[in-house]
Chain A
Amino acid sequence: MKKFNIIFGICCIVLSCGLFFACGDDDVEIKDDGPVIMYPSQRLYVDLNQAKLPSVIAVVNSETGLKRISTYLIKTGNVQVEVGIPVTSFFNPNSYSVTRNPSYSDNTTGFKIIAEDLAGRVKEFLLPIDIIPLRDAPKVFFYDTAGDGIETIEYFEDSPMPDIKVEVTSQENLQYVTLKQIVDGMESTVFIEEGQDTIWLSNNQTQYEFNLNNLAYNYVFPLGITGLRVYTAAGAVDKPKTATGMLSIIFKRAFPEIFITSDSEDFNGLTMGQSVNLEGYVKSASGLSSINIIPLDTLKATMSGEQIIDGSHAFEKPFLVHFNATKQQMFVRIQAVDINGKESNDTIQLHVGYKYYHLLANTASVANQSYFSSKYGRIYDPCSAMGIYKDIDAGFGTYATNTKVDLCRLDETNKLTGTCGANSWNSDKNIYNMTVSKDFTNSNFDMVTVGKLHGAVPKSTTDSKIVELLIPDGSIPYGKNSPNVALYSRSDGKKVIITGDGIEPNSSTQTNPVFYIKVKVEM
């Protein structure tokens, strides 16, 4: 038994010694000074404007063996944001390649790697990161000659191209600039430079400008243009920042405009041979070539005495001409021609030997009546007319039932009667020296002089008492003469011509209408 105990004891000692030395084999053999972290560069530059941002690359070496590697993005204020999960398993325990694609932002300042080896030693390394923040998109400006920014221009056809500068600026390098015109809603390219529908820019150019009056192929705005658009892009090719600038164009046909400053009454009630002054001015966006003053005895037949004023390319030219009223029926045409041959006309009529009136009559007044005095060339309501009944020579009445405007000749024998507010003229009484003529239509009323009113002499005393001057059933709108013309002679023998000139807009066309009349009264 003793022998057994001795042998057992020796075995235990040998076994424990073996176990002791066996444990000693698990100790980490330290071969270096700890993990070594290497970056390929001393700083990392990150341009957030680029499409592809750089990865953070590093290599961590450890001859002792790597145990754990963790990575962090450092932000302003030393805020650490862990990137990915820590690495604890290594294909090659002596070397590990770190590749991270963190989410960079304006406040990123660095990237830190913390590495621990099997001996428990920890090393960290901070890679500073310089961030280039996001830049603004390019901008497009339009400037006039005064250097003021503009968004809309008016352009008159055939006038010179406006001196407008287009400027494109960017914080980054510009890539291209394209100019498009919008005509009838469709875009098409305008060549800024000859042979180039797009200006490609290089060499980190951040500004580009051109002038609309200095484009390729002597570009001019086409008819119907509504705007110009400038398209541009800047920054990285694979992450461009685009912008569009718009200039609205109000395109105007540039016909000369004629303004007559003489009073229209200067041409009314003229005596034969009377000297007349015609004064006014003409404006032209393109510049005037000439102003022609042409007397006409009708609207077509010219008379002698045409006067021509040299326009001298002026944008505004006054005129003052003198001529004599040599015919009862006479017109004067002002004809303005600009340097592009565009012509405008305006025609005035001279009323020689008679007075012309264009008056508004209102049958919606008292008793649905309205009165006319050729002596005064005015319309009167019934109450006013009562006071001057001797000078009232015509009255207008209307009835809802017959939807007509009647004209009744009034004189001493058919004078205003009754009281104000009641029916004041009697259509049953005989009316003389009056007739209705359908010889004169709307178009020729203006052409007829009182001296040529052959139809003015009544064929019989019962020709007409009342003239249906207007039939306001909607068929004679505003601006249209009645087909009926009332002709009569006043007690002093002077002839009077009256025609309706349409219903006033917004007035009832059937009940108590408000309407216009044209009148010529022999002088």
Chain B
Amino acid sequence: MKKIIKHIVLFILILNMSSCLDLQKDYDYEPQIADNKVNMTVWGYINARQDTLGTLKEAIELVSMEDYYSQSHNYTYALMTNYAFEIRSSSRPGVFQSLGVHTLSEINTEEKKEQLRNILKYHIIQGCYHGLGTLSFDPINVISLREGQDAVMTMKMNNAISYTTYSTVEFNRMAGTSSYVTAQTSNIFANNGVIHIVPYQIIYKP
């Protein structure tokens, strides 16, 4: 008898509680632009993304160029992924292939280090260039930190009909006979510049 009373009381309680719940109301989706500000310097970003940029970090430290990534000139940085260092290809040689080495440890002469510095400087562009107002679909010439009349580079936004690449940043499109490089991640705003992540070394061929 007691059990029956307990079950009745429990049923009444559940019934009362469920009656308090209202039907779920419609929810309107409110789009928001993803915040591409990382609130850190480019050097801080590199250190935070060692899974992708670990080799670049070690390369920068090897040639003591950390200051180039910590300065406050608002440069544009094409940061090379680990793959960009390691790939071996005739059309898109990696950094190691360009230097004639297989690992960073083999970059042990001043001549090799100077070559590495030049490669890294070529990937730092004077001025802020991104796809949110400063670049268009037409390539423009930009000036990198590597001085010399062969240090030519162009930048533009990708206008391919593709949801994965449209409006991403491209380097060296229509620059001599260069193979152009499309950034795999574009327009990351650090405190001291704009970052574009590139999967290949950017090379200018007249």
Residues of A within 8 A of B (CB): 38-42, 44-45, 52, 54-55, 57-59, 61, 91-92, 94-95, 97-99
Contact = CB atoms under 8 A, between A and B. Distances in A.
B32 interface: no
Interface string B139-156: 011111001110110000
Contacts of B140: 97, 99
Interface in B163-187: none
B136 A91 contact: yes
B134 interface: yes
B45 to A, nearest CB: 23
A41 B148 contact: yes
B149 A40 contact: yes
Interface in B183-206: 206
Given A41-B151, A97-B142, A99-B141, A59 B126 contact: yes
Contacts of B142: 59, 97
18 contacts: A38-B126, A40-B144, A40-B148, A40-B152, A41-B147, A41-B151, A44-B149, A54-B149, A55-B152, A58-B141, A58-B143, A59-B142, A61-B127, A92-B133, A95-B127, A95-B129, A95-B134, A97-B142
Contact of B143 (A42, A44, A54, A59): A59
A40 B143 contact: yes
A394 B91 CA distance: 104
A454 to B, nearest CB: 100
Contacts of A42: 147
A39 B133 CA distance: 23
A153 B149 CA distance: 51
Given A41-B148, A95-B134, A52 B206 contact: yes
Interface string B28-60: 000000000000000000000000000000000
Contacts, number: 47
Contacts of B126: 38, 59
A97 B136 contact: no
Interface of B: prevailing SS: loop
A41 B149 contact: yes
B165 to A, nearest CB: 21
Contacts of A57: 141, 143, 149, 152
Interface residues of B, number: 17
A125 B118 CA distance: 25
A36 B61 CA distance: 31
Contact of B151 (A40, A45, A98): A40
Q: Which 9 A-B pairs have the closest CB atoms?
A: A97-B140, A57-B141, A41-B149, A97-B141, A40-B143, A92-B134, A99-B141, A59-B143, A40-B151
B175 to A, nearest CB: 10
A61 B149 CA distance: 19
A295 B141 CA distance: 97
A39 B144 CA distance: 10
A121 B127 CA distance: 21
A153 B54 CA distance: 72
Interface in B121-142: 126-127, 129, 133-134, 136, 140-142
A58 B126 CA distance: 11
A99 B138 CA distance: 13
Nearest to B144: A40
B121 to A, nearest CB: 11
Contacts of A55: 141, 152
Interface string B96-131: 000000000000000000000000000000110100
A339 to B, nearest CB: 59
Nearest to B155: A97
A57 B150 CA distance: 10
Contacts of B144: 40
Contacts of A45: 149
Given A97-B140, A97-B142, A59 B127 contact: yes
A61 B126 CA distance: 10
A207 B149 CA distance: 30
Contacts of B136: 91
Residue among A39, A54, A59 with the most chain B CB within 10 A? A59
